[in-house]
Structure 1
Amino acid sequence: MDLFSTQPDQDINLLPHDGTVNYYGTLMTVAKANEYLKALLETIDWKNDEAIIFGKLIITKRKVAWYGDIPFKYTYSNTTKQALPWTKELIELKKIAEDKTGETYNSCLLNLYHDGNEGMAWHSDAEKDLKKNGAIASLSFGAERKFAFKHKTTKETITRVLQNGSLLVMKDQTQSHWLHRLPPTKLITKPRVNLTFRAIVVGS
């Protein structure tokens, strides 16, 4: 089921049940989105992501960064990151996401995919540090990539192409009932930067 549309209705829930996903489309001009992409590539403290799987350390080609209001510690894939202080561009983008969604975020996990060969396997963002059923605002810059959801029980799938400078929001019970992924593709040769603004529960 492909729900891609050039003029998305942000009030439409892309999921048929068990969660809420809204796609707002592009929030800025292509020129402005490319300006943010350049700044993010140059100013973010990118590191290769690490995961410990079956006791073995895996280092990915994909790079990540973790920023927040305070030095939050965030653990996933059996590794822990400590948040860096916001950059000027991240503060601007956080405000855009908050104004558009009516939510409040205190942290951001960023991913850098150098080309279509790099993706993300099926997973859900349900770490104990995150606000239960809280909103995750996903801003995309650079190459347009297909993003997919799969229901954990029914296995039904939904896809959406995420545009340069666009916003997608996952909230309510989405992480409990749905997996999501960024499928790899040999058709994409340009980089994509994805920002996922989140709410970490202080003291978790």
Structure 2
Amino acid sequence: MNVNIVPTIESNAWESIPQGQLCWLPNFLSRDEADRLYDQLEVELNWQQKAIFMYGRKVLQPRLQAWCGEEAYTYSGLRMEPAPWTPGLKQIRDKLYRLLSCRFNTVLVNKYRDGSDYMGWHQDNETELGHQPIIASVSLGETRRFVLRHLHSRQKREFELTHGSLLVMAGDLQQYWQHTIPKTLQDKQPRINLTYRWIDGGGPQS
């Protein structure tokens, strides 16, 4: 099965942008579903603060993380070995498959503890993600600002990632756009973000 295809949703949720595609579903999960999943992930994941290489030195990432699924993942000098799927993560993985007809064999889970936790400008373009990777991002908890920036035109797109929302990035987006969750001085409660992806070389889903 070719997993690196742009999936279809029977709605007008897909939006073509220059050299990329986006799908925005602010009500992917109901409030009750999102509340239950947030509480479940809080206790069933082994949260860690990992160090990565930035500008030639090791620094702690400004957020907590968990990596689950079937394949290891390497970025910024950090190799992440997967923990097993948890019931909550499998539930959302299967819901995404029913919606997108797209399989995911891993998920990176980030926990932003407050407004000072952030994700810097980057692209999800590592070789093991394959050509035209599809990244499905599910947000839980506090609303945080998400910014996309085109590498050449500097055009920007912004979203307020709310509790239970889904943002899917596809097509050539990871080749031509960067994205970030910027830090803020506003008083922010914790946020959990799930980014589902397919790592090339993975076996069939369980």
Taking structure 2 as the reference length, the TM-score comes to 0.88
Q: Is 1:36 aligned to 2:22, yes or no? A: no
The residue that corresponds to 1:124 in the other structure is 123
Aligned ranges 1:186-201 → 2 under 5 Å: 186-201=185-200
Q: Is 1:115 aligned to 2:117, yes or no? A: no
1:57/1:105 CA distance change after superposition, 3 Å: same
The residue that corresponds to 1:79 in the other structure is 78
1:120/1:147 CA distance change after superposition, 3 Å: same
The residue that corresponds to 2:8 in the other structure is none
Higher mean alpha-carbon deviation, 54-63 vs 82-91, is at 54-63
Deviation string for 1:53-92 (max 9, x for gaps)?
Answer: 2432111240111111x2x221101111111110010100
Preserved contact between residue 147 and residue 183 of structure 1 (Cα < 8 Å): yes
CA shift, 1:131, in A, is 2.3
4+ residue stretches of structure 1 with deviation over 3 A?
none
CA RMSD of aligned residues (A): 1.4
Corresponding residue pairs, total: 192
CA shift, 1:146, in A, is 1.1
CA shift, 1:42, in A, is 1.1
Preserved contact between residue 14 and residue 21 of structure 2 (Cα < 8 Å): no
- What amino acid sits opposite 1:133 in the alignment? Q
Aligned ranges 1:27-176 → 2 under 5 Å: 27-68=28-69, 70=70, 72-176=71-175
Q: What is the aligned-residue identity percentage? A: 30
More strand by share: 1
- What amino acid sits opposite 2:124 in the alignment? D
Gaps of 5+ in 2: 1-10
User: Alignment partner of 1:64: what SS?
Assistant: strand
Preserved contact between residue 143 and residue 188 of structure 1 (Cα < 8 Å): no
Tell me the distance in 1 between the aligned counterparts of 2:56 and 2:178. 24
Preserved contact between residue 151 and residue 178 of structure 1 (Cα < 8 Å): yes
Gaps of 5+ in 1: 1-8
Taking structure 1 as the reference length, the TM-score comes to 0.89
- What amino acid sits opposite 2:33 in the alignment? K
